Structure 1
Amino acid sequence: MFKGVLLGFACYAAYAISDAFVKSLHGSLPAYEAVFFGAVLMLSALPFIRRPGDRWIEVFQARKPSLWWIRAISGAICNIAAVIAFTALPMAEAFALIFLLPIFVTLLSVLFLKEHVGWRRWSAVVAGFLGVLVVLRPGFRALGVGHLAAMVCGLSGAVSVVALRMAGAHEKRISLYGAGVIGPLVAGGLLMLPDFIWPDARQWALLAGYGLLAGFAGVLLMLATQHAPANRVAPAQYSQMLWAIGFGYWLFGDRLDWPMLIGIALILGSGLFTLMREGQVTPWWRRTRLV
């Protein structure tokens, strides 16, 4: 259990560093290009994800094809939105809005999985959305496409999680990972064609850091969930906020005011409570694929 949780923290550290690499592009490349090349490099994790007996064609196949397509499409939207959010917003602010994901999962689980949600989790949902209002402060500060992209990222990520739950615990890992990579690769590749810019040496280095670290994080997550239940590994994702605040301050000169810190605390607290509470009341087969 302890080893699994440590691997979870290492996984989300790798994800946070990967996000710092893509933020360093500062919009010098279209988001679609970053998504495409990042997905190409994430394919490097497939030999480690693949289990003995898995066939390579299963990267593109699943027992429930409709859910594979939902995961691929939602993964494409999530990746593109994340790149836009990280290049447009301070890292901590982007993460705060993306971390609405567990709250969106709760709402979608009620709609599509007919899951019962008690007053405690509904209270966490309300607290999370109050945190969003505190962070955004509509009418008091300028809002941009980055804010919308971060929330779209959280929502599309939640759709992907619910699709995983609907797929059940017997879907092959190579299919689940494949959908999450092939979707962004195809969508990013098609959308980048009209305004393609050939990356320079610095941009290639940043793209390599972004894609390879994301693939490495996927392998670490697989190892983490082999040693500990997914609902014990999932809370480690909130350590990304510490990395985001540190990177934002030291690398990008981001500054957070007190209202934003209070809003971030509300969002993180409600999301973490939702994860922990879900581990107590949600049947195991619906939460094994949570991360």
Structure 2
Amino acid sequence: MKLSFYRLPFTARWRTAGIMTPVRQNPALAAMLIVTASAFIAATTLLAKALGTGTLGPALHPMQISHGRFLFAFLVIVSSVGVLRPRLSRPHWGLHIGRTSFGWVGITLMFASVAFIPVADATAISFLNPVFAMVLAIPLLKEGVGPWRWLAAAVALTGALILLRPTPASFQPAALLALTAAAVIGMELIFIKKLSGREIPIQILLINNALGLTIASVAVSFVFQMPTPEQWGALVAIGVLMACAQACFVNGMARADASFVAPISYATLIFAAFYDFAVFDVIPDIVSQIGSAIILTGGLILVWRETRVRTA
């Protein structure tokens, strides 16, 4: 299996194994867990938008929002480690530092973008990260890319171009933040690929969030402002929801084939559009709908091709 890992979107980038031990296959439960995780992920993006637009008080800097994400996710995960007491192995610090650095930059850029563009648009653009990872894998992992994978990449990037609205009257500069976030997270996927199989998922999550918290704590010191009580609640919710989403994805992917799980994870876009409408009264226009549909088509072509390669 060469590039099958990269068909998974941003929200589904954890090892297809249980937190600690193998579990019995259960596609129905896997689907429920992935849908739940998708709802959690979309909710974190919505909360980031509320924090970055001043809905809950003076707008917070994206670096402060990402700091809250890592802080409270770390507290949840370290508590889980204390309860589960898994057997941890010696970590590969170089890979962890590389993975976390790109992950922190990517999530901060994503949180910055949703303050200016619809949550659904930013979420759709984030689904480009497996495409960027696929392209980066050529020079970095020496992996080959066939015509179907290039077709999937071209289709997805066409959808992103539509979402950018590249005309003087409608161009969305903030969408470039989401596009850059997808590219940076694509690089993070390269590091995750290298980590895959070396360490158990809960150790990877623990170290990722510990290092992310360290980086975010340094960065936030330059922009910190005291949050309102409502903002503290939203920051806690972002961290807890992110940790829960990670747990749901890990467990969901342990109970079904990745080819079954990957398309379901695109439900994140549906939740993002619904939340944006319910909270901010934003209805995706026809351009957003077309661009998002094309990106999803590219992703599904990649899923289909990887499924064929795996079963051949």
TM-score by length of 1: 0.87
Deviation at 1:53, TM superposition (A): 4.0
- 1:169-248, aligned counterparts within 5 Å? 169-248=197-276
Structure 2 unpaired stretches of 5+: 1-26, 54-58
Instruction: Assess, with a 3 A threshold, how the Cα gap between structure 1 residues 46 and 104 changes in structure 2: closer, same or farther.
Output: same
* Corresponding position of 2:171: 142
Counterpart of 2:38 (choices 4, 8, 12) is 12
Could you tell me which amino acid in structure 2 is paired with residue 8 of structure 1? I
Deviation at 1:39, TM superposition (A): 0.8
- Quick one: distance in 2 between partners of 1:179 and 1:108? 24
- Quick one: distance in 2 between partners of 1:282 and 1:114? 19
Q: Is the 8 A contact 1:21 1:210 kept in 2?
A: yes
- 108-117 vs 68-77, greater mean Cα deviation: 108-117
1:54 and 2:80 are equivalent in the alignment: no
Counterpart of 2:49 (choices 18, 23, 27) is 23
TM-score by length of 2: 0.82
- Quick one: distance in 2 between partners of 1:52 and 1:203? 32
Q: Is the 8 A contact 1:49 1:222 kept in 2?
A: no
Question: What percentage of residue pairs aligned between the two structures are identical?
Answer: 23
1:45 and 2:72 are equivalent in the alignment: no
The count of aligned residue pairs is 278
Could you tell me which amino acid in structure 2 is paired with residue 216 of structure 1? C
Could you tell me which amino acid in structure 2 is paired with residue 251 of structure 1? V
Deviation at 1:194, TM superposition (A): 2.2
Deviation at 1:186, TM superposition (A): 2.1
Tell me the SS of whatever aligns to 2:142: coil
Could you tell me which amino acid in structure 1 is paired with residue 63 of structure 2? Y
- Quick one: distance in 2 between partners of 1:26 and 1:12? 21
- Quick one: distance in 2 between partners of 1:248 and 1:269? 22
- Quick one: distance in 2 between partners of 1:177 and 1:210? 16
Tell me the SS of whatever aligns to 1:115: coil
Could you tell me which amino acid in structure 2 is paired with residue 107 of structure 1? V
Q: Is the 8 A contact 1:32 1:188 kept in 2?
A: yes
Q: Is the 8 A contact 2:37 2:248 kept in 1?
A: yes
* Corresponding position of 1:95: 123
- 225-234 vs 77-86, greater mean Cα deviation: 225-234
- Quick one: distance in 2 between partners of 1:199 and 1:91? 22
1:66 and 2:97 are equivalent in the alignment: no
Deviation at 1:280, TM superposition (A): 3.2
Extract structure 1 runs of 4+ deviating beyond 3 A: 46-53
Residues 165-190 of structure 1: per-residue CA shift (max 9 Å, x gap):
22232322233213432343222211
- Quick one: distance in 1 between partners of 2:250 and 2:208? 14
Q: Is the 8 A contact 2:77 2:205 kept in 1?
A: no
* Corresponding position of 1:163: 191
Could you tell me which amino acid in structure 2 is paired with residue 234 of structure 1? A
CA RMSD of aligned residues (A): 2.2
- Quick one: distance in 2 between partners of 1:150 and 1:68? 23
* Corresponding position of 1:278: 306
* Corresponding position of 2:297: 269
Tell me the SS of whatever aligns to 1:169: coil
Deviation at 1:238, TM superposition (A): 0.6
* Corresponding position of 1:32: 63
Q: Is the 8 A contact 2:132 2:186 kept in 1?
A: yes
- Quick one: distance in 1 between partners of 2:310 and 2:113? 31
Tell me the SS of whatever aligns to 2:34: helix
